Amino acid sequence: MEEQTTFWYEFKKGFILENPLMVLMVGLCSSLAISNRLENGIFMGISATFVLVFSNVIIAAIRKWIPDQIRIPIFIVVIASFVTIVDLALKAYFPPVYDRLGVWIPLIVVNCIILARAEGYAYKNNVKNALADGLGMGAGYTCVLLIMGFIRELLGTGKIVLFDKTLFNIAPPYNPPAIFILFPGAFLTFACLMALLNRYKMRKAE
Amino acid sequence: MNEAYRYFLIFLGALLIYNILLIRFIALCPLIGVSTQVETSIGMAMSVLFVMTMATTASWVAWNYILEPLGVGEFLYIPVFILIIASLVQFTEMFIKKVSPPLYRAMGIYLPLITTNCAVLAAATEAVKPGFLKLNVAYHFSLPEALIYTIGVALGFGLVLIVFACIRERLETSPVPHAFKGAPIAFIIAACLSLAFMGFANLLGL
């Protein structure tokens, strides 16, 4: 029972309390750049979660044998191997998605979330907690990506297209402002989401 | 198209039209994290210019003389490039510490941060490995071209970082709605700047 609660706690922590994007503000670059479509958000979220979970688990498993002075290069090699797996898999099975995500896939290596979790969490905790932490952080990241992707695609193009199927279409009189799928829209959407969260927190504090 | 004009286009494209911070969203963490004072921004910009130029040169040599001839580039480029960057940063830090202590004091604290700065890896990957560059120019992946591209990217980074820091210093004393204090207003400003940079789109047919 005790074990169960810590697992849940670690998972929930990454998802809500320490959400990497909204609260810790790490890994912003990729989330803003690729969240112009819901579909990109799904692929990027899954890729980053995969890398996060596996690198967390491996690092937690070998943490006793890592010499302290060279831990950062070791973390980077572990992370880079999993990123290479994602890179080649996406290139082989989903070429159009790979084209759209482009340089962002190799950049998962330097995504601050992953290195920060390796250094700050997995290096000091056991495999099970590291797994929960990876899953929670990955889910929190993916969730924000999906929200941003949904808002931006809906407002910017007036419809949601997922795997070549239109799920949702706003009636014709709505004239979609393209700014939302372009670059400034990402900053605006993210700023508003953060302001909403701040407001909610302030309400709660009162 | 003559040679000098082509180089000019590559430089301008990297500097303004595909500005790494505002149009490509790469390296947003230092933009939000470091750019609170003009002085620190200048230090950061200089260190990035220095490391980025060296990283691209080293990656170019590794790609053209080791990875490509051996036919292993496709699946080893991520770990190789990131290790080159990490060790270069470490080496630069030791070298500067030994040779010029004042410069080390000015640049020192930013150097370790640069390893996880996505801009360095992004610039190296795009300039060296075919398939990632977005510029609409005939690009032959030669060393001078890669260097000009990288310097353009680094100067574009510095330019935006310093402009942004100037605005943020002003912001300290201006009345901001309560929920938007801190990071959200910084993102709104980034949105406005990004909007301004979009004016450069399609300049000179790039």
A101-116: pLDDT as tens digits? 877 788 787 777 787 7
Determine the structural domain holding residue A23 and report its residue range: 2-205
B81: which chain A residues are within 8 Å (Cβ-Cβ)?
A: 106
Closest-CA distance, A169 to chain B, in angstroms, reads 27
Using alpha carbons, select from B48, B64, B50 the residue that is nearest to residue B162: B48
* B115/B94 Cα distance (integer angstroms): 14
Q: Three-class SS of residue A169? A: strand
Mutation choice for B interface testing from A110, A188, A199, A201 by most B CBs within 10 A = A110
List the single residue in A83, A110, A184 with the smallest CB-CB distance to B191: A184
- Please report, as a single letter, which amino acid is at residue A72: I
Q: What are phi and psi of A27, to 5 degrees?
A: 70, 30
N- to C-terminal Cα distance for chain B? 14
Tens digit of each residue's pLDDT (9 = 90 or more) over B162-183: 888 888 888 878 887 877 777 7
Number of domains in chain B: 1
Number of domains in chain A: 1
Looking at residue B205, its pLDDT comes to 64
Tens digit of each residue's pLDDT (9 = 90 or more) over B104-146: 776 656 666 676 667 888 888 887 877 677 666 667 778 888 8
- Please report, as a single letter, which amino acid is at residue A2: E
Determine the structural domain holding residue B35 and report its residue range: 3-205
Q: Mark yes or no for CB contact B29/A112 under 8 Å.
A: yes
For tokens 């977005």, name the residue.
B134
Cα nearest neighbour of A199 on chain B: B179
Return the DSSP state at B182.
T
Task: Note whether A21 contacts B: Cβ–Cβ < 8 A.
Answer: no
Mutation choice for B interface testing from A26, A29, A83, A98 by most B CBs within 10 A = A29
